[in-house]
């Protein structure tokens, strides 16, 4: 069962929290990869200096104005980063998936990541897309339109911790990085 249609409607901060504990599934031709989302970051529009959207619409950032549920994939330092667009149409906002707890297809992930350390498979935004084989072609597509990729709603609400975002040059004073408390697979 997938997500309800309005799952991604709302402020980025709220959706980032809502995604924690949810299961993400990627069906490959030979194997199904499964993981629990345990770390996210919220990004906003023009008021957020760390957001791609703060400089208006560019090739990358224009996707942030697409409808909620749109996927945004872009490259930083030769790694793919996977974001989900949130909020209402006409307003920029996105949630970055930073880390996932591996649940299924772990051997495949190990092969992809070239490591046997299970804690090193998905503990970072670039690591996650590598382990889960997230292609850049998913950019600007709606989650509902991609058969192979599904996010399953969590069964219970995990305990959530917050901190400042990672790797950004100029952050806001609020804490917009959220992660499951005491989880061993955060970045």
Partner DNA sequence: CATATGATGGACT
Partner DNA sequence: GTCCATCATATGG
Q: Which residue stretch of 20-28, 125-133, 149-157, 172-180 sits at the interface with DNA (rule: CB under 7 A)?
A: 125-133
Q: What does residue 130 show for φ and ψ, rounded to 5 degrees?
A: -70, -50
* Angle (nearest 5°) at CA 162 between 176 and 56: 5
**How far apart are the C-alpha atoms of 85 and 90, rounded to whole Å?**
12
Query: 185, 173, 158: which is closest to 98 by C-alpha?
Result: 185
**How far apart are the C-alpha atoms of 171 and 86, rounded to whole Å?**
20
Choice between 25 and 73, CB closer to DNA: 73
Choice between 34 and 52, CB closer to DNA: 52
Among 26, 34, 108, 113, binds DNA (CB under 7 A): 113
Least Å distance, CB 56 to DNA, is 8
DSSP code at position 129: H
Choice between 104 and 164, CB closer to DNA: 164
Residue 124 binds DNA, judged by CB under 7 A: yes
Query: 167, 164, 158, 155: which is closest to 185 by C-alpha?
Result: 158
Residue 137 binds DNA, judged by CB under 7 A: no
Least Å distance, CB 155 to DNA, is 27
Element (H, E) at 113: helix 106-113
Q: In angstroms, what CA-CA distances link 119 with 45, 96, 97, 116, 122?
A: 33, 19, 16, 9, 7
Residue 172 binds DNA, judged by CB under 7 A: no
Least Å distance, CB 113 to DNA, is 6
Least Å distance, CB 130 to DNA, is 7
Least Å distance, CB 161 to DNA, is 16
Tell which positions 63-82 bind DNA, by CB under 7 A. 64, 72, 74-79, 81
Element (H, E) at 130: helix 125-131
Binding site for DNA (CB under 7 A): 41, 43, 50-53, 55, 58-61, 64, 72, 74-79, 81, 83, 94, 96, 113, 115, 120, 124-128, 165-169, 187
């Amino acid at each position: 069962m997938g997500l309800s249609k309005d799952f991604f409607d709302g402020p980025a901060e709220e959706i980032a929290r809502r995604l924690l504990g949810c299961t993400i599934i990627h069906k490959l031709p030979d194997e199904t990869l499964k993981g629990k989302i345990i770390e996210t970051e919220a990004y906003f529009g023009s008021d957020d200096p760390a957001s791609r959207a703060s400089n208006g619409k560019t090739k990358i950032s224009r996707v942030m104005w697409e409808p909620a549920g749109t996927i945004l994939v872009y490259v930083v330092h030769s790694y793919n980063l996977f974001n989900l667009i949130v909020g209402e149409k006409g307003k920029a906002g996105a949630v970055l998936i930073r880390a996932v707890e591996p649940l299924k297809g772990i051997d495949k992930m190990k092969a992809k990541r070239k490591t046997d350390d299970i804690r090193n498979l998905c503990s970072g935004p670039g690591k996650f897309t590598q382990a889960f084989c997230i292609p850049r072609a998913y950019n600007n597509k709606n989650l509902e339109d991609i058969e192979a990729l599904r996010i399953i709603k969590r069964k219970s609400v995990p305990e959530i911790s917050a901190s400042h975002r990672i790797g950004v040059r100029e952050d806001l004073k609020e804490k917009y990085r959220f992660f499951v408390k005491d989880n061993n697979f955060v970045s």
